[in-house]
């Protein structure tokens, strides 16, 4: 994944979770600095994950960036109201990733 | 493409726009001019070159020049000049233009509109401070084709994801099929018209803020100097000029000076003290 490569180059240590529930548990064990998430994830989707994350102690802290094929205004608005910092619509290229990460304050 | 065709067209483009085409651009010339040849019903590049050599009509010469411009642009390009516009230039105008309650911004090589629309969004976000003010954003470019796109204000998903914060996308854009269309309230803040930077800008009128970004890099030194001097000529003594990240005024114009600590922002040199001010910057 392009995003993963770029983050690794920025010296982020990466952990992956296979569904929204496991991602939330991982965050509760150890709060990350940033979360990159898809809208469509098994068990708990991106928006449910984000709401739960923001309600977790210290869960306000991570910078959250959606990275998804959902590209209509309604989805984006919902993500931002739920507390996402940035939103990347697929398809994207590495320049978009760089631009969005710097807008989100990760660069 | 033979060398003499390349040289002849390079000369034409340089005369009409200032754009410098070095020999390594031959491939670029062929790929950009083939579509122009088709549009004008020529069989190919060679036939187009022949027509240009025989002083083809104005429309053809203009299309050839247009096709050789590089129009890459994105919203809030390089971030810093736009931060300076919001945090330094706007407060300055608020204070120093309060009696006439008006000022003018000129984007002198606006390409597809991302630069003037970025400035318009900043103004919109700060409109509470400027109630009752008359703020004009004039945006010009040499290329008429790119101005059409700017006026339309519709961008691809790639274009709206480069530099534009998501909050501004959802606030000021609507999705229209696979394009994102800028809101009418922003679009109507910008006036577009064609203008060639090689021409005398007195028809533009006095401008308090000039964005002339990422175009001087394509010019040779005498052209850069002349363009900067002419721009300086239509700025008030406390005007601001913003250039691109790879552009400088050092050794190019002594009518414009660096503003210490503000990357990419320049002011007018005081009469006779230009070099001194430059050395200090
Ligand atoms: C790379 S774009 C820069 C766009 C924008 N200012 C930015 O920084 O993103 C350069 C623009 O300069 C325009 N240009 C080139 N020669 C010009 C000239 N002589 N007069 C006016 N515009 C010119 C091109 O058409 C092109 O749109």
pLDDT tens for each residue of B31-57: 999 999 999 999 999 999 999 999 889
pTM, two decimals, is 0.94
CATH 3.40.50.150 residue window(s) in chain B = 80-268
Return the higher-pLDDT residue of A8 and B58.
B58
How near does any CA of chain A get to the CA of B252, in Å?
Answer: 31
For residue B174, the chain A residue with the least C-alpha distance is A73
Interface touch B158/A87, C-beta < 8 Å: no
Which residues make up the CATH 1.10.155 domain(s) of chain B?
3-69
> Which residue from B158, B166, B174 is facing A86, i.e. has the nearest CB?
B166
Tell which of A3, A87, A101, A107 to mutate to test the B interface (max B CBs under 10 Å).
A87
Residues B69-91 pLDDT 10s: 999 999 999 999 999 999 999 99
B278: pLDDT confidence band, cut at 50, 70 and 90?
Answer: very low
pLDDT, mean over chain B: 94
The answer to whether B80 contacts chain A (CB < 8 Å) is no
Protein fold of B3-69:
Chemotaxis Receptor Methyltransferase Cher; domain 1 (1.10.155)
Task: Answer whether residue A35 shows pLDDT above 70.
Answer: yes
Task: Determine the topology of domain B80-268 in CATH.
Answer: Rossmann fold (3.40.50)
Best mutation site among B67, B142, B148 for ligand 1, i.e. most ligand atoms within 8 A of its Cβ?
B142
Confidence at residue B33, expressed as pLDDT on a 0 to 100 scale = 96
What is the share, in percent, of chain B residues with pLDDT greater than 90?
Answer: 90
Q: How far is B11 from B19, CA to CA, in rounded Å?
A: 9
What number does the ligand 1 atom closest to the CA of B196 have?
A: 20
In 3D space, the residue among B71, B63, B73 whose CA is nearest the CA of residue B13 turns out to be B63
Tell me the nearest-neighbour CA distance from A12 into chain B, angstroms: 22
pLDDT tens digits for range A50-81: 999 999 999 999 999 999 999 999 999 999 99
Q: Any idea where the domains of chain A sit in the sequence?
A: 2-103
Protein residues with CB under 6 Å of any ligand 1 atom? B 17-19, 69-73, 77, 109, 111, 115, 141-143, 146, 196-198, 213-215, 244
CATH number of A2-103: 3.40.50.2300
What residue's CA is closest to ligand 1, atom 19?
B17
Q: What distance in Å separates residue A42's CA from the closest CA in chain B?
A: 26
Work out the pLDDT band at A1, boundaries 50, 70, 90: low
Q: Say yes or no for a CB contact (<8 Å) between B161 and A76.
A: no
Q: Whose CA is nearest to atom 27 of ligand 1?
A: B111
């Amino acid at each position: 994944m392009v995003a993963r490569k770029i983050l690794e180059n920025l010296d982020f240590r990466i952990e992956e979770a296979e569904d929204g529930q496991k991602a939330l548990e991982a965050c509760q064990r150890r709060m990350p600095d940033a979360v990159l998430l898809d809208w469509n994830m098994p068990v708990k989707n991106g928006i449910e994950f984000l709401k739960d994350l923001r309600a977790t102690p210290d869960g306000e802290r991570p910078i959250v960036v959606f990275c998804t094929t959902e590209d209509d205004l309604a989805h984006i608005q919902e993500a931002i109201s739920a507390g996402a910092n940035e939103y990347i619509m697929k398809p994207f290229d590495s320049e978009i990733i760089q631009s969005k990460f710097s807008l989100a304050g990760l660069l | 493409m033979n060398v003499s065709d390349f040289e002849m067209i390079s000369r034409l483009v340089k005369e009409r726009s200032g754009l410098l085409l070095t020999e390594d651009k031959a491939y670029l010339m062929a790929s950009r001019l083939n579509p122009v040849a088709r549009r004008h019903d020529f069989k190919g590049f060679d036939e187009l070159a022949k027509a240009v050599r025989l002083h083809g009509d104005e429309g053809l010469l203009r299309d050839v020049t247009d096709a050789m411009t590089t129009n890459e642009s994105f919203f809030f390009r390089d971030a810093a000049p736009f931060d300076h516009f919001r945090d330094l230039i706007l407060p300055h105008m608020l204070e120093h233009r309060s009696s006439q309650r008006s000022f003018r911004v000129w984007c002198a090589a606006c390409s597809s509109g991302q630069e003037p629309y970025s400035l318009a969004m900043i103004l919109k976000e700060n409109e509470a401070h400027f109630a009752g003010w008359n703020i004009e954003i004039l945006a010009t470019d040499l290329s008429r084709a790119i101005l059409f796109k700017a006026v339309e204000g519709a961008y691809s998903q790639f274009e709206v994801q480069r530099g534009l914060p998501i909050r501004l996308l959802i606030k000021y854009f609507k999705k229209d099929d696979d394009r994102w269309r800028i809101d009418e309230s922003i679009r109507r803040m910008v006036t577009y018209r064609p203008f060639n930077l090689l021409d005398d800008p007195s028809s533009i009128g006095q401008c308090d803020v000039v964005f002339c970004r990422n175009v001087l890099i394509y010019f040779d030194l005498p052209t850069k100097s002349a363009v900067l001097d002419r721009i300086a000529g239509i700025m008030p003594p406390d005007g601001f000029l913003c250039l691109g990240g790879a552009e400088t005024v050092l050794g190019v114009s002594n009518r414009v000076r660096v503003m210490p600590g503000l990357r990419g922002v320049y002011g007018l040199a005081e009469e006779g003290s230009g070099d001194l001010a430059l050395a200090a910057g």
